[in-house]
Amino acid sequence: MRDEANAGTTRFTLNGAAVAVSAPADERLSDSLRERLGAREVKIGCNAGDCGACSVLVDGAVVCSCLTPTRKAEGRRVETVAGLVATDPVAQALAQRFQDHGAAQCGFCTPGMVTASVALLRQDPAPDEAAITRALGGVLCRCTGYRKIIDAVASVPPALAGAGAAGHAGAAIRRLDGAPKLDGSEAFGDDVAPPDTLEILVIRSPFPRAGFRFGDLDGWLAGQAGMAAVLTAADVPGRNVFGVIPAFADQPAFAEDVARFRGEAVAAVVGTPETIRGFDPATFPVTWQELPPVMTPAEAEASGAPLLHEGRAGNLMCKGFVACGDAGAALAAADVTVEARFTSGFVEHAYIEPEAGFARVVDGRVEIHACTQAPVMDLESMEILLGMDRSRIRIVPTAVGGGFGSKLDISLQPYLALGAIKTGRPVRMAYSRTESMQSTTKRHPSDIRLRLGATRDGILKGCDFQGTFNTGAYASWGPTVANRVPVHASGPYRIADYRAEARAIHTNCPPAGAFRGFGVPQAAIALESLIDELAGKLGLDPLELRLRNALENGVPTVCGQVFSQGVGIRACLKALRPAWEAERAAAEAFNRDATGPLRRGVGVASGWYGCGNTSLPNPSTIKAGIRADGAIVLHQGAMDIGQGANTVITQIFATALGVPVAGIGLIGPDTDLTPDAGKTSASRQTFVSGNAARLCGAALRAEVLRAVNASDQALLSVADGAITVDDGASRHRIALGPLAADGDGYVFAASGHYDPPTKPLDENGQGEPYAQFGYAAQLAVAEVDTRLGTVRLLRLVAAHDVGLAVNPMLVEGQIQGGVAQGIGMALMEEYIPGRTENLHDYLIPTIGDIPPIEPIIIEEADAHGPYGAKGLGEHVLIPTAPAILNAIAHACGVRMTSVPVTPAKLATALAGD
Amino acid sequence: MPYLVPETVSEALVLLRDRRPVVVAGCTDVLPTRRQGDRTDDILDVTGLSDLRGITGGPQGWRIGAATTWAEIAAAPLPPAFDALRQAAAEVGAIQIQNAGTVAGNLCNASPAADGVPPLLVLEAEVELASAAGRRRLALSDFITGVRRTARAADELVVALHLPQPPTDAGGAFVKLGTRSSLVISIAMVAAVVRVAGGRIAAARLAVGACSPVARRLPAWEAALEGRSLDAVAGLRPDPAHLAGLAPIDDVRATAAYRTEAVRDLCRRAVMRAVASATGGSDAR
């Protein structure tokens, strides 16, 4: 028998090399691989076998390394994605196909996906979709919607621009940052700290609302071997408050005296990895006094309810309001009206990468390396919390394993900075899945009452929207949700008489913040459901009813904004017509012949989304230069969280400069090196930072052309330390070596700055909130099991107006990924504090839940967008849930008004209870 | 906190008697439940014991080693009556879990939602336990005694499951209901084994999981099915009275009322599919 003592050595082969590790008996193979053997390509998303990111092959069989004690590897052959892609021809070919299809977006699940796929392909070189679905059902992806992954594994031919193409705006090219996502070298938040760095663990409130008092922290710390520091609010040198909207900033890094939600941080401990690993937070010297919480807006608004924040009477954080015409009179005069109440719960972003990072103090400056969507906003928050001048803070974003809105807010950055400052040593931390789910922002639960009227011939007449949003314990992006919802709740329709009010109410729930759509998806469920109800009452085709009311160029929105160009909703709706007619007929035929419990239905819904901040400045700056050796360097500060900014911004810049994408090197994002390109949010990067990149490229081009007095028609090529300018018949050669370089080392340099033109909204929400909108319409085909209440989706068709698809492959990936999140919101996702704090009780779609999703790209060019491009990131999701609800109603006649439509809810509704 | 890897069952049993370690196999239930700062006892890994691996069959019935993985069961050449077990094996978690998780681990974890239990109940599995003092066999229904509780004594090890040889005219099926397509904890599941003779159901056994603290057979419905014409099975759903003994609860996955209604239809589907399995036909949903 091998009776292995605590420090026993386990020997195995890792990617073909013999290795030996001494690890505690209960250590997970994932931890040994990452921390003892440097195999950081193995990703940890849940430590519970729920996500599959940590998948490795053990003797050729795929397992979760987080569920494998290291000791089990004794004598085995362990393979990770890095080894597979380095040496295995099957994996190498697959990695190429992943890049050709854009099957890796953020790349965090990719090691697990590739590993599980290799196990399949070794057995079955030509798997069908069922085999792929079965083989990959244990790896969650939150970005792609899985369809590109299926295409890559199944060797579907890709639709890429030809080799040698310049890769300019409009070309489907591979992600420029794709290769590291496939070979395992991409460094995410938890991948950058050296081994043996001090670690931080946060002490969190176990109650939604509680008073607390610390014991003798100094005395306690003195008795803790291996513990370097305790952090509390007392250690915050600046103001202990942060928030993404300065006027509403209300969240402490560490709670003081009272915790306002379950999972709120009250303190943190910093210690050696071994100490932190063995530390039981229940032993921390804090005593709690549990207080009665308010968990819903109804409780929070009840008279006598405890106030979460002084000065916010009734726990009302803020309201948003838009009105035009006279909604009440129009509804009274309408030939038909419909009304209903719609509800939705918290939705968790569930990016597969939990928040993680590393910090150190370098020459008196604090450096924070962490995953983020908004490096400059992080810097601004840290400036306040640390009471330090911003020149002494550097934010170096790591690769981001998905964000979807929640990584806009700071999370662990204060603890990292405070830990590094207090100990004087580098520190790291990674949230557990449960910490991530408990403490970071969520989609707002909604409670919406909507009345909608129409004339007999199907012209919308009167709309009254009342939305209450549970904004949780702190403001986060709640004000944005409250402002955006009334602007968007009309959908992309002409409604002359409109009134919409949204209210954000504090509760003792986790902060609700930004999540793909900022409340608009919830509002779209209400509106698009009632449009179908109107169609039913009027006896009109639902698609036709939408077309009759769709906005057009020159027609005012409910904010009174009139776009003379670029309104693409009609084109989106029309693009669905062939599928609509065929699928409606097929579903009706299916149902006519059905004898069993299955019924099919087809639903449609629209969406729109204003790109960028609502009536607020929203600038981006991009700079670039050409070095004496001819290298073209783009300082790209727009965070790529998987959506593709690194690629798209470069494509736009290259187009403007007039050189191939392949010749451009990227720097950043890094607040020391890249100018502020704003946050990755609000579908703004392609539009706003893309415009900055276009202006930067054009300015750099102008610099070069000016040097030789060439015309703007000239062709540039950069090679061998010189720029060649071909201007008609004349050729100029600019030798770069002799030119003087600036402080950045550039002989030519330029920057571009863009801020979209908007105008303020008045007290009735009238104005010009956005310079452009993106438009969308989607069609869902659903099969309802009328006995069990289960819904199986058969097909999604998604038409999206993106103005110009800068990279059609990435556009398709955004569409499919957004649709998948919409499917989750419609059918399975609801975060319940205290109950669904993991990825087996909180369910997101697996690969088998996502039907074929057919993107239709509409390009109704926008005058403000770079080369006509519009934002896309949010409207990919907005129509999905209502299209599914409409399909369910068409299938079985039941109008669901509460998401998620779980089997139990739908079966209950079908039974007429 | 040693990690003990015995090479023989007798070694393992001595360790169990003397040191009372935590017995682990696939670790797919043990590691997810570990919390920050948990102390770990001695660990006894039984997956290296060859006596606990593999599936053997003969006229006397079938023996499934305790540490046989779900992937091994899913791939094993078992008779149609075992279809419920093989289908369940392919729905335990996902492939990563099936490659590591073991059949006895699923039983010893004793989750009400364990996918392995209903098929083994309808296959009338017995659990063989060994200790340094000797061996015993228990019917599976006597082995799992409650939520996360079994009849295994602290010094005992589950070494194998024994299943009687089913008749050649028997077929089986497993129907799982969850909120998504894979990697999902069941809302409810039903396993069925039926014998078919002369166009009728000669005998039927059904078990329901996730609707009571321990998965349960449905003897009243089994009796009611006996002798029913195959032509009628598509319409046969148990009445609530046939579900006596089930005690579903409300939880984050579903309500009790929904579970009760769903189980009625899952029973219908399981019998239809088991009949198809017995008769070599296709799955007639």
- Report the residue of chain B nearest A832, measured CA to CA: B252
Contact across the interface for A849 and B6, Cβ inside 8 Å: no
In angstroms, rounded to a whole number, what is the distance separating the alpha carbons of residues A416 and A229? Answer: 12
Whether A282 sits inside 8 A of B37 (CB atoms) is: yes
The pLDDT of residue B207: 98
Q: Are strands A316-324 and A498-506 parallel, antiparallel or unpaired?
A: antiparallel
When pLDDT is cut at 50, 70 and 90, the band that residue B37 belongs to is confident
Residues 6+ apart with CB under 8 A from A275: A224, A225, A226, A227
Q: Look at residue A913 in the predicted model and tell me its pLDDT.
A: 61
Q: Which of A402, A399, A395 lies closest to A375 in space, CA to CA?
A: A395
pLDDT for residue A721 is more than 50: yes
* Helices (H), ranges, A750-902: 808-827, 880-892
In this structure, which amino acid lies at residue A826?
Answer: A
Query: Any idea which of A7-16, A500-509, A660-669 has the lowest mean pLDDT?
Result: A7-16
Q: What is the pLDDT of residue B280?
A: 86
Rounded to a whole number, what is the distance in angstroms from the first to the last CA of chain B?
Answer: 51
CA quadruple A82, A84, A87, A90: dihedral sign: negative
CA distance B182 to chain A (A): 6
Cβ within 8 Å, pair B37-A840: no
B36: which chain A residues are within 8 Å (Cβ-Cβ)? 201, 279-281, 432
CA angle A23, B69, A790 (to 5 degrees): 110
CB atoms within 10 A of CB B235: 9
Q: What is the mean pLDDT of chain B?
A: 95
Classify strands B22-24 and B43-45 as parallel, antiparallel or unpaired.
parallel
The residues, ordered by sequence, that sit 6+ positions from A17 with a Cβ below 8 Å of its Cβ are: none
**Binary contact (B34, A26; C-beta < 8 A):** yes
Q: Per the CB < 8 Å rule, is B261 touching A911?
A: yes
Tell me the C-alpha distance between A127 and A117, whole Å.
10
Question: Inter-chain contact B3–A4, Cβ cutoff 8 Å?
Answer: yes
Contact call for residues A492 and A610 (beta carbons, < 8 A) = no
Here the tokens at position A784 are 């309802």
The burial class, CB within 10 Å (0-12 / 13-18 / 19+), for A155 is middle
Query: Quick check: A530 and A338 in contact, CB under 8 A?
Result: yes
Question: Can you give the three-state secondary structure of A399-466, one letter per residue?
Answer: ECCCCCCHHHCCCCHHHHHHHHHHHCCCEEEECCHHHHHHHCCEECCEEEEEEEEECCCCCEEEEEEE
| pLDDT at A147 exceeding the cut of 70 | yes
Query: Which helix (H) or strand (E) segment is B45 a member of?
Result: strand B43-45
Question: Quick check: A282 pLDDT over 70?
Answer: yes
**Which of B95, B260, B264, B285 is the best substitution to test chain A (most A C-beta atoms within 10 A)?**
B95
Does position B197 have pLDDT exceeding 70, yes or no? yes
A10: nearest CA in chain B? B3
Are the beta carbons of B262 and A903 separated by less than 8 Å? Answer: yes
Which residues sit opposite A137 in a β-bridge?
A: none
How high is the pLDDT of residue B39?
80
Looking at the DSSP bridge assignments, the partners of residue B173 are B192
- Chain B residue numbers with beta carbons less than 8 Å from the beta carbon of A281 are 36-37
CB contact under 8 A, A848 and B1: no
ipTM strictly over 0.85? yes
Nearest chain A residue (CA) to B9:
A1
Compute the distance between CA of residue A54 and CA of residue A89 in angstroms, rounded to an integer: 21
Residue B40 binned pLDDT confidence (cut-offs 50, 70, 90): confident
Chain A residue nearest residue B94, CA to CA: A138
pLDDT in tens, A407-418: 999 999 999 999
**Selection from A462, A458, A451 nearest residue A333 by Cα:** A462
Q: Terminal CA-to-CA distance of chain A, rounded, Å?
A: 62
Chain A residues near residue B40 by CB distance under 8 angstroms = 25-26
Size of the A and B interface in Cβ pairs below 8 Å: 183
| Strand boundaries in B96-199, DSSP class E | 126-131, 134-139, 144-146, 149-150, 157-163, 170-177, 188-197
Q: Do the chains contact at B31 and A2, CB–CB below 8 Å?
A: no
Q: Closest approach of chain A CAs to the CA of B270, in angstroms? A: 14
Helix/strand/coil for A506: strand
Flag whether pLDDT at A696 surpasses 60: yes
Q: With the CA atoms of B52, B53, B55 and B56 taken in that order, what torsion angle do they form, in degrees rounded to the nearest 10?
A: -60
pLDDT of residue A912: 87
Q: Report residue B266 as tokens.
A: 């899952």
Dihedral, A51, A53, A58, A62 alpha carbons, nearest 10: 60
Cα–Cα distance, A305 to A79 (Å, whole number)? 57
**Chain A closest CA to B13's CA: distance in Å?**
13
The CA-atom distances, in angstroms, between A362 and each of A61, A228, A417, A425, A674 are: 44, 19, 12, 10, 19
Taking 3-state DSSP, the helix, strand and coil percentages for chain B, each rounded to the nearest 5, stand at 35, 25, 40
- Residue ranges of the alpha helices (H) in A607-738? 645-657, 690-708
Tens-place pLDDT, residues A177-187? 999 999 999 99
**Sign of the dihedral defined by the CA atoms of residues A858, A859, A861, A864, in that order:** positive
Residue of A nearest to B3 (CA): A25
Q: Please, which pLDDT band fits residue A7 given cuts at 50, 70 and 90?
A: low
Q: Answer whether A283 sits within 8 Å of B37, measured CB to CB.
A: yes
Alpha-helical segments (H) within A124-263: 129-136, 147-153, 178-183, 217-222
Write out chain B residues lying below 8 Å of A4, CB-based.
2-5
Q: Kindly tell me if the per-residue pLDDT of B150 is higher than 90.
A: yes
Q: Which residues of B touch A48 (CB under 8 A)?
A: 31-32
Q: Cβ of A603: how many Cβ atoms within 10 Å?
A: 27
Tens digits of per-residue pLDDT, A734-756?
999 999 999 999 999 999 999 99
Q: Is the confidence at residue A28, as pLDDT, over 50?
A: yes
Chain A residues with CB inside 8 Å of B255's CB? 904, 908
Question: Does the structure show a pLDDT above 60 at A4?
Answer: no
Taking the CB of residue A169, how many other CB atoms lie within 10 A of it?
25
Task: Express each pLDDT in B186-196 by its tens digit.
Answer: 999 999 999 99
Chain B: residue whose CA lies nearest to A7? B2
pLDDT at residue number B41: 85
Instruction: Please compute the mean of the pLDDT values over residues A5-19 and round it to a whole number.
Output: 87
Q: Find the CB nearest B187 among A3, A137, A903.
A: A903
The answer to whether A155 touches A126, Cβ cutoff 8 Å, is yes
Give, to the nearest 10 degrees, the angle between helix A413-423 and helix A375-386: 50
Q: How far apart are CA A831 and CA A822, in angstroms?
A: 15
Of A25, A281, A790, the CB nearest to B40: A25
* pLDDT on residue A1: 54
Cα–Cα dist B279/A351, whole Å: 47
Q: Do B1 and A25 touch (CB under 8 A)?
A: yes
Residues A274, A36: Cα–Cα separation, whole Å: 13
Give just the sign of the alpha carbon dihedral B155, B160, B164, B169.
positive
Distance of CA A465 to the CA centre of its chain: 27
Q: What is the DSSP letter of B67?
A: T
**Distance, CA of A776 to CA of A524 (rounded, Å):** 12
CB contact under 8 A, A71 and B3: yes
